């Protein structure tokens, strides 16, 4: 029965894939999809744009073709036929799970939904006055205390795990290949801590990744409830990851269609190359700080308006437009004022974002299935605006809808409050963040770019008069 109700969703995704094949051409970009021979030559722009930081098998974004791949699988196939649990396993372990692997992975994820100490600690914080992402970040960092004693006053670090290869001991002017000894120490550190047999779960390694992927959704659920003035809801072990997330945030068990749509949305957001939050997570992890603190940094990066959060702005924009008949004049005015249209354009994609290709039809499906009058108006405005933007900026500048254009409408139809759109993004990205950290740590090298010094060198030091007076007083 559940399968029959969600069959339409599979068809919509398959149709979206066919459309993508028809409309976008292009090949693999050799500059971003080939083994690296270090040191690598690349053209680097400000903000490290174009820089190659590492090799990865986890995912690939082909910006000119509008293609997204996880571990070799096209995103359309994963959305049509997989679940978020399977995709998380795939990202972390490189292959889709067998039946027994999936069942033990699911068991672990369900066990790790239970984070009573974290929720208890969170409840003592001013969650209602903090931003949702600040609260999510705090909760993720508190999860660390569920599994490590590292911050207790009695904790004595094992000196054998302290890595000698920090930035003071690696000669910074060496070619960037990793000093032999340093690489050995890093590998040793990771392996030793994995086998260390701590009393609780190890603070690194795959169990910590599972703990984070699962636990962060419980944190999101608790934060959402507290911010709405309710007590957190206990997780339901019978529900899938997607269904439990909706349940813990809204207090309502989703229909099979709602569950499936959330599942697809989570898959679509699980990984997306070396974006700012992924890079932030990896930079912190590369210091061998633990993965909880590393993921907290990813959440912090995602909280910035240039990264997560455009979907909330899209809804505000659609509300401001107000009706389909206003679209053309609103757009003309916005263009004249050189306004960026929210939900369009992307740093990497110069084609239609494949995630938007899936989310657009899903938004329409949800609205048609039971959306209220406001949702119907929002969708009609969005579709009219899409036509205007593509006809003027599509071919000319490669500006097409991005993932955020339709996701706000989708989440609204699922009953998710707008301030929870970005936390949901973080909940799904936990899979990509942890997978990329685990991959990078296998050949870890602490991130350490250089800044070009453009200051002066020969300024003469002159003690200030104020400082003189202070010294005299003493």
Active site residues: 307, 346, 404
Q: What is the DSSP string of 153-179?
A: TT----GGGS-S-STTTS-TTS-TT--
CA pseudo-torsion sign 204, 210, 215, 216? positive
Q: Which residues lie below 8 Å from residue 307, measured CB to CB, with a gap of 6+? A: 275, 276, 277, 301
Q: Which is nearer to ligand ACO, 63 or 178 (CB)?
A: 63
**Shortest Cβ distance from residue 347 to ligand ACO (Å)?**
4
**Nearest distance from residue 390's CB to ligand ACO, in Å?**
11
- Nearest approach in angstroms of CB 346 to ligand ACO is 5
Residue 96 · residue 37 · CB < 8 Å = no
Q: How far is the CB of 433 from ligand ACO (least distance, A)?
A: 14
For ligand ACO, the closer of residues 165 and 334 by Cβ is: 334
CA 67 to CA 61: how far, in whole Å?
A: 6
H helix intervals, 28-98: 75-81, 84-93
Whichever of 235 and 411 has its CB closer to ligand ACO, that residue is 411
250 Cβ contact list (under 8 Å, min separation 6): 224, 414, 415, 416
Residues contacting residue 282 through CB under 8 Å, at least 6 positions apart: 53, 54, 294, 436, 437, 440, 447
Residues at the interface with ligand ACO (CB under 6 A)? 307, 310, 340-347, 393, 397, 399, 402-404
Q: For residues 353 and 402, is the Cβ–Cβ distance under 8 A?
A: yes
> Measured from the CB atom, is 143 or 424 closer to ligand ACO?
424
Q: How far apart are CB 181 and ligand ACO at their closest, in Å?
A: 39
CB of 106 to ligand ACO, least distance (A): 28
10 Å CB burial of residue 77 (0-12, 13-18, 19+) is middle
Q: In the complex, what is the shortest distance from the CB of residue 436 to ligand ACO, in angstroms, rounded to a whole number?
A: 16
Neighbours of 465 (CB within 10 A): 7
Closest to ligand ACO by CB, 61 or 92: 61
Phi, psi of 424 (to 5 degrees): -65, -35
Residue nearest to ligand ACO (CB): 345
Nearest CA-CA partner of 292 in 156, 150, 428, 422: 150
**341 or 416: whose CB is closer to ligand ACO?**
341
List of residues 6+ apart from 373 with CB closer than 8 A:
none
Q: Are 221 and 232 in contact (CB under 8 A)?
A: yes
Q: CA-to-CA distance for 106 and 86, rounded, in angstroms?
A: 9
What is the residue-wise DSSP string for 214-268? HHHHHHHHHHHHHHTTSPPPPP-TTS-HHHHHHHHHHSSPPPHHHHHHHHHHHHH
Non-local (6+) Cβ contacts of 95 within 8 A are: 71
The residue whose two tokens read 């390694």 is 205
Minimum distance of ligand ACO from residue 344's CB (angstroms): 4
CB nearer to ligand ACO: pick between 96 and 393: 393
CA 362 – CA 378 distance, rounded (Å): 14
Provide, rounded to whole angstroms, the least separation between the CB of residue 356 and ligand ACO. Answer: 9
Before 52, cis peptide (omega within 30)? Answer: no
Is the CB of 222 or the CB of 321 nearer to ligand ACO? 321
C-beta closer to ligand ACO: residue 80 or 310: 310
Residue 54: Cβ within 10 Å count: 17
């Amino acid at each position: 029965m559940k399968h029959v109700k969600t069959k339409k969703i599979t068809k919509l995704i398959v149709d979206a894939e066919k459309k993508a094949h028809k409309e976008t051409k292009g090949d693999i970009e050799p500059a971003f999809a080939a083994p690296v021979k270090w040191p690598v030559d690349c053209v680097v722009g400000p903000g490290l744009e174009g820089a190659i930081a590492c090799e990865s098998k986890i995912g690939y974004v082909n910006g000119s073709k509008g293609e997204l791949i996880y571990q070799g699988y096209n995103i359309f196939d994963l959305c049509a036929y997989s679940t978020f649990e399977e995709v998380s396993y795939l990202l972390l372990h490189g292959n889709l799970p067998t039946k027994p692997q999936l069942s033990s992975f699911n068991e672990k994820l369900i066990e790790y939904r239970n984070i009573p100490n974290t929720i208890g600690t969170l409840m003592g914080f001013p969650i209602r006055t903090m931003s949702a992402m600040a609260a999510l970040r705090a909760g993720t960092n508190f999860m660390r205390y569920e599994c490590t004693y590292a911050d207790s006053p009695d904790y004595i670090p094992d000196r054998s795990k302290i890595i000698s290869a920090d930035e003071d001991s690696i000669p910074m002017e060496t070619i960037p290949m990793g000093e032999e000894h340093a690489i050995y120490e890093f590998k040793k550190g990771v392996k030793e801590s994995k086998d260390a047999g701590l009393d609780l779960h190890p603070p690194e390694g795959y169990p910590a990744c599972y703990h984070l992927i699962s636990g962060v959704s419980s944190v999101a659920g608790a934060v959402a409830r507290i911010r709405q003035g309710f007590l957190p809801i206990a997780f339901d072990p019978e529900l899938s990851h997607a269904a439990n997330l909706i349940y813990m945030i809204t207090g309502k068990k989703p229909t099979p269609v709602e569950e499936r749509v959330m599942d697809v949305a989570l898959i679509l957001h699980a990984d997306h190359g070396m974006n700012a939050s992924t890079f932030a997570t990896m930079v912190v992890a590369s210091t061998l700080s633990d993965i909880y603190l590393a993921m907290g940094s990813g959440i912090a990066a995602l909280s910035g308006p240039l990264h997560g959060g455009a979907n909330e702005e899209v809804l505000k924009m659609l509300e401001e437009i107000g009706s389909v008949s206003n679209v053309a004049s609103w757009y003309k005015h916005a263009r004249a004022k050189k306004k960026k249209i929210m939900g369009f354009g992307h740093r990497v994609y110069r084609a239609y974002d494949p995630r938007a290709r899936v989310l657009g039809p899903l938004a329409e499906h949800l609205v048609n299935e039971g959306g209220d009058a406001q949702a119907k108006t929002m969708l009609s405005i969005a579709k009219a605006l899409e036509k205007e933007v593509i006809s003027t900026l599509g071919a000319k500048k490669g500006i097409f809808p991005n993932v955020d254009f339709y996701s706000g409408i989708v989440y609204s139809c699922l009953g998710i409050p707008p301030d929870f759109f970005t936390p949901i993004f973080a909940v799904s990205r936990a899979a990509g963040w942890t997978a990329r950290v685990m991959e990078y740590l296998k050949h870890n090298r602490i991130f350490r770019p250089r800044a070009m010094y453009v200051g002066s060198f020969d300024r003469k030091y002159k003690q200030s008069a104020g400082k003189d007076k202070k010294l005299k007083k003493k």
